[in-house]
Chains A and B, each alone.
Chain A
Amino acid sequence: MRSDGGRHWASGAVFLATVAFLYLPIAVLIGLSFNASGLPTSWGGFTTGWYDRLFANDEILSAFRNTLIVAVCATAISVVIGTLLAFGLERTVRSRVLDAGSFVPMVIPDIVLAIALLSFYNLVFTQWMGVRLGLWSVILGHAVFGIAFVSAIVRTRLRHFDDSTVEASLDLGATELQTFRHVTLPQIAPGVIAGALVAFTLSLDEFVIAFFTAGTEVTFPIQVYSMVRFGVTPEINAAATIVVGFSLVLMLVAVRLRGQEDTA
């Protein structure tokens, strides 16, 4: 095999340890979701009763649905605008100020952004236009930082982009659209996917901005934070377990589909 096999062994070990580290609390909360005792500190026997309660709990289910809507929309907007911005910053314009500025949204403390947005929305939308806040106002806020993250990641991809491949493609007679689809896009795709994952992940669990700008809508983080008044009940752990299970299934399906069209 390749000569950097030695490093592969070490990185593989770190990878396994990392995955174990990441999933340890998940294992705990899955276990606790079956705990008949309401408290995490004592085991009261195995039960699936919390799951029954969960599925009967409309609030949690609709909160989760709202969160998905917000995350998908915010990610879509962030990917498109963020990728455009990445092209602009890496190709079209050489500005140190804009370069630094494109990271600023990440640097704003989220409570400041949340309160700023609510004050702004209140002035413009509620008082002047008479529009109620809802999931849309959360989406707008999440895209603010989503764009910054996507742009930063796609830019690392564009940094050393090989223009000669594009030039060759065009010289060989491909149209610009074909070139973009078959030459440019595949090369930046890993960056776009990574950026989309970041934006999606951040939006899914984002509480502060959502709480302040969602009006009376409830997203999953808002629901969880409000329920934690009593510490984390097994019902919440059950909800978290469902999320993990659902994501796992989704991912396996996606991998299956991609595996069928990909070549090694």
Chain B
Amino acid sequence: MRSARQIARRGLQLGPALTWWTVLLVVPVGLILAYSLFRRGTYGGVVYEFTLENFERVVDPIYLKVLWFSVRVALEATVVALLVGYPTAWFIATRPKRWRTFLLVLVVLPFWTSLLIRTYAWMVLLNDEGLINNTLESLGLIGSPLSLLYNEFAIVLGLVYGYLPLMVLPLYAAIERLGPDLREAAQDLGASGWRAFLTVTLPLTRSGVWAGCLFVFVPSLGNFIVPDLLGGGRSQMIGNLIQVQFLKARDWPFGATVALAVIALMTVVLLIQAWMNARDRREEVPGAV
């Protein structure tokens, strides 16, 4: 039986967020997604004739190819970001307390400058006569320029670069909480450095890992700047596709359908994670570290 206090607390904690999202997210986006059931007008706009043709269109092999490419590239970027981001976050979290915020901000600072400008800077760095190729050639490490631009390598690099802080920050929050005592305790009990890490530290930072991966994977999927500039426009990703439908093709119904497909897929992933979360929590002893 819930007391009035409990209900009030629930309301105060969940209320603002849920209201904000209902009014400014669920309703507006729901209306747009509903367009997927209608037709495009000849010059854009929506004709309110019910049809399922958009859903038939979206399973065309070309769009599945774009989706597969996007998922693959986003996964590559996420893995790289995790491999780079975890040690980075670890390093920051294990510094003396007064250094931590400074180091965090140091990592985040570049991202307060426009990503577009920095992406153009990467184009200058990566092209055949750019700084990187020039340096490698003058050091004698390569004979002819490496193809670093307008390909998948450049896209993954651009995505990792663009979203790395989103990986580092949640990882930091999770690792920092652990404290040195826990790591030391695991080792005192006989586990070697690596084993302690894999069996104790990593599982305990799992929620941070999940958040970081999500924060990198999802925006990577929807990014359209990086494939356009660093990819040379040679490989479309889902973000481009949706953008094109809404803006270039002025085909809101079909754009809504593609968006709906992506959102549905991601929601399934989120629900799976939520399920696993709930299972973990049931297993934990309340109050223990």
A interface, CB within 8 angstroms of B: 2-4, 6-8, 10-12, 14-15, 18-19, 21-26, 28-29, 32, 40-41, 80-82, 84-85, 87-89, 91-94, 96-100, 102-113, 115-117, 119-120, 140-141, 143-144, 147, 149, 151-157, 159-160, 162-164, 190-191, 193-195, 197-198, 201, 204-205, 207, 220-221, 224-225, 228, 231-232, 236-237, 240, 243-244, 247-248, 251, 254-255, 258-259, 262-264
Contact = CB atoms under 8 A, between A and B. Distances in A.
Contact of B90 (A11, A29, A240): A11
B24 A141 contact: yes
B138 interface: no
B91 A8 contact: yes
A88 B118 contact: no
Between A15, A112, A248, the greatest number of chain B beta carbons within 10 A of the residue's beta carbon is seen for: A112
A32 B21 CA distance: 42
A198 B110 contact: no
Nearest to A30: B121
A228 B116 contact: yes
Interface string B183-204: 1100100000100110000001
Interface string B6-19: 10011011101100
Contacts, number: 312
A224 B193 contact: no
A156 B115 CA distance: 28
A153 B21 CA distance: 18
* Interface secondary structure of B, over-half rule: helix
Contact of B13 (A10, A11, A84, A205): A84
A18 B112 CA distance: 17
Interface stretch (B49-57, B143-151, B274-282): B274-282
A93 B98 contact: no
Nearest to A27: B121
B17 A81 contact: yes
B84 A155 contact: no
B159 to A, nearest CB: 13
Interface of B: 6, 9-10, 12-14, 16-17, 20-21, 24-25, 27-29, 31-33, 84-85, 87-88, 90-92, 94, 96-98, 100-102, 104-125, 131, 161, 164-166, 169-170, 172-174, 176-177, 180, 183-184, 187, 193, 196-197, 204, 207-208, 211, 214-215, 218-219, 222, 239, 242-243, 246-247, 252, 255-256, 259, 262-263, 266-267, 270-271, 273-275, 277-278, 281, 284, 286-289
A158 B6 CA distance: 19
Which 9 residue pairs of A and B lie closest in terms of their CB atoms, listed nearest first?
Answer: A88-B13, A25-B121, A116-B28, A120-B28, A14-B87, A99-B274, A85-B17, A100-B270, A11-B87
A22 B218 contact: no
A22 B21 contact: no
Contact of B118 (A29, A106, A140): A29
19 contacts: A19-B107, A40-B121, A92-B6, A107-B218, A108-B25, A112-B33, A113-B29, A143-B20, A149-B215, A153-B170, A153-B173, A156-B174, A156-B207, A204-B112, A228-B116, A232-B117, A240-B113, A262-B97, A262-B98
Contacts of B10: 88, 92-93
A232 B263 CA distance: 34
